């Protein structure tokens, strides 16, 4: 039986700016994305029957066709019917460590791992760029999850420019177990409340994206300047999620007051992260916040910035 195991890292946003509406109904974004080593493990193996079977050890992850990992396998099977016929079905097991619906691209990274794994299992010979093109049909974050590291992401979030890697930094991540935020809800609410400030002229939006390449955040990353990066963290979606979820704001404030480089919500939330210089500092911050917010619903993780996306381990 042929089988592969893959590590699928989560991501945080160091910057998320919403520029305006796109003709496809999505938003035009200017983001800086960073992989972290809080990761899922995805096991793929050939099975004797001609079907795609997904199992996951987490109760919140659907095991039907709404699972993005299932959709990734179905997409590849539809695009390469001969390979599917030749190699047969696939069993996919997701060992979930990244919190679900948390703004950390947990579903997208599982789908990314399925694309990378099936490329090997079915000997398709696709390049990383081709896998990223397929991934963008599944979700805006999937191309980044395949590539990983540190990158500028524009368009829907699927147009990537790599940046120098920042793997000396750490984050403490905090999320209330029972709290999830729908990404679609966050963007729709932002549109309802703030679309009057959208850049209407496509040329101006294009200029804003180019400006990002010489922005203070990108300069700070190039200089590996953690202090500056912490001060420049920015996420437009905080404007809609924090007023709706005061607990998330309280958590961000608790991180801020722990002497970290910076603290911010990741993506559409509700996960909040605190940027730290070292493992020891991150451990201290984690302990301090655990003491400040005594709530069994709050989960905290410590993670390091990761220079890579999907990795095949065996
Ligand atoms: O691409 P993905 O399926 O992850 O996006 C989830 C939802 O987030 C979309 O259905 C859309 O409502 C919103 N979104 C957006 N603009 C983007 C990315 C996501 O409006 N660039």
Residue of 40, 43, 110, 141 marked active site: 141
User: pLDDT tens-digit profile of 222-279?
Assistant: 999 999 999 999 999 999 999 999 999 999 999 999 999 999 999 999 999 999 999 9
* Helix residue spans in the chain (DSSP H): 68-79, 81-87, 106-121, 128-136, 142-147, 183-194, 202-212, 216-222, 226-232, 238-244, 246-256, 279-292
For the question of residue 11 being annotated catalytic, the response is: yes
User: pLDDT tens-digit profile of 71-113?
Assistant: 999 999 999 999 998 988 999 999 999 999 899 999 999 999 9
In this model, does residue 202 exceed pLDDT 80?
no
Q: How far apart are CA 212 and CA 275, in angstroms?
A: 21
> Angle 68-79/128-136 helices, nearest 10 degrees?
120
Give which of 39, 19, 266, 16 is closest to 153, Cα–Cα.
16
Output the pLDDT for position 231: 98
For the question of residue 141 being annotated catalytic, the response is: yes
Q: How far apart are CA 304 and CA 193, in angstroms?
A: 35
- CA 38-39-41 angle, 5° bins: 155
Output the pLDDT for position 245: 97
What φ, ψ does residue 6 adopt, rounded to 5°? -130, 145
Residue of 11, 175, 209, 286 marked active site: 11
- Locate 90 and state its tokens: 């696939």
Output the pLDDT for position 210: 82
Asked if residue 157 has its Cβ within 6 Å of ligand 1, the reply is yes
Asked if residue 156 has its Cβ within 6 Å of ligand 1, the reply is yes
Q: What is the pTM of this model?
A: 0.96
Residues 51, 89: contact at Cβ < 8 Å?
yes
pLDDT band at 1 (very low <50, low <70, confident <90, very high): low
Q: Which atom of ligand 1 is nearest to the CA of 29?
A: 21
In this model, does residue 300 exceed pLDDT 70?
yes
Q: What's the gap in Å between 58 CA and the centre of ligand 1?
A: 24
Asked if residue 181 has its Cβ within 6 Å of ligand 1, the reply is no
Which residue's alpha carbon is at the smallest distance from atom 7 of ligand 1?
184
Q: Which atom of ligand 1 is nearest to the CA of 184?
A: 12
Q: Among 97-111, 155-169, 176-190, 199-213, which stretch is predicted with the lowest mean pLDDT?
A: 199-213
Asked if residue 71 has its Cβ within 6 Å of ligand 1, the reply is no
Q: What is the mean pLDDT of the chain?
A: 95
Asked if residue 27 has its Cβ within 6 Å of ligand 1, the reply is yes
């Amino acid at each position: 039986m042929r089988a592969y195991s893959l590590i699928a890292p989560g991501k945080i946003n160091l910057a998320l700016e919403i520029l305006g509406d796109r003709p496809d109904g999505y938003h035009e974004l200017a983001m800086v994305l960073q992989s972290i080593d809080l990761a899922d493990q995805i096991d793929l193996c050939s099975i004797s029957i001609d079907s795609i079977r997904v199992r996951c050890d987490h109760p919140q992850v659907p095991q039907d066709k709404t699972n993005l990992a299932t959709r990734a396998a179905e997409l590849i099977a539809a695009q390469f019917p001969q390979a599917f016929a030749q190699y047969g079905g696939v069993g996919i097991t997701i060992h979930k460590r990244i919190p679900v619906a948390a703004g950390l691209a947990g579903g997208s990274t599982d789908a990314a791992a399925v694309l990378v794994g099936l490329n090997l299992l079915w000997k398709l010979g696709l390049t990383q760029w081709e896998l990223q093109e397929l991934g963008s049909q599944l979700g805006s974050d999937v191309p980044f999850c395949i590539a990983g590291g540190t990158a500028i992401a524009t368009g829907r979030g699927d147009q990537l420019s790599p940046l120098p890697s920042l793997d000396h930094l750490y984050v403490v991540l905090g999320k209330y177990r029972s709290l999830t935020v729908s990404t679609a809800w966050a963007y729709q609410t932002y549109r309802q409340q703030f679309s009057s400030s959208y850049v209407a002229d496509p040329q101006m939006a294009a200029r804003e994206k180019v400006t990002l390449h010489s922005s203070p955040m990108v300069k700070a990353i190039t200089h590996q300047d953690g202090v500056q990066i912490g001060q420049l963290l920015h996420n437009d979606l905080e404007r809609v999620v924090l007023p709706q979820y005061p607990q998330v704001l309280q958590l961000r404030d608790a991180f801020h007051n722990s002497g970290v480089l910076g603290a911010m919500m990741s993506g559409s939330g509700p996960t909040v992260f605190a940027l730290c210089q070292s493992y020891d500092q991150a451990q201290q911050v984690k302990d301090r916040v655990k003491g400040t917010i005594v709530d069994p619903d709050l989960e905290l993780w410590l993670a390091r910035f990761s220079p890579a996306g999907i990795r095949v381990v065996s």
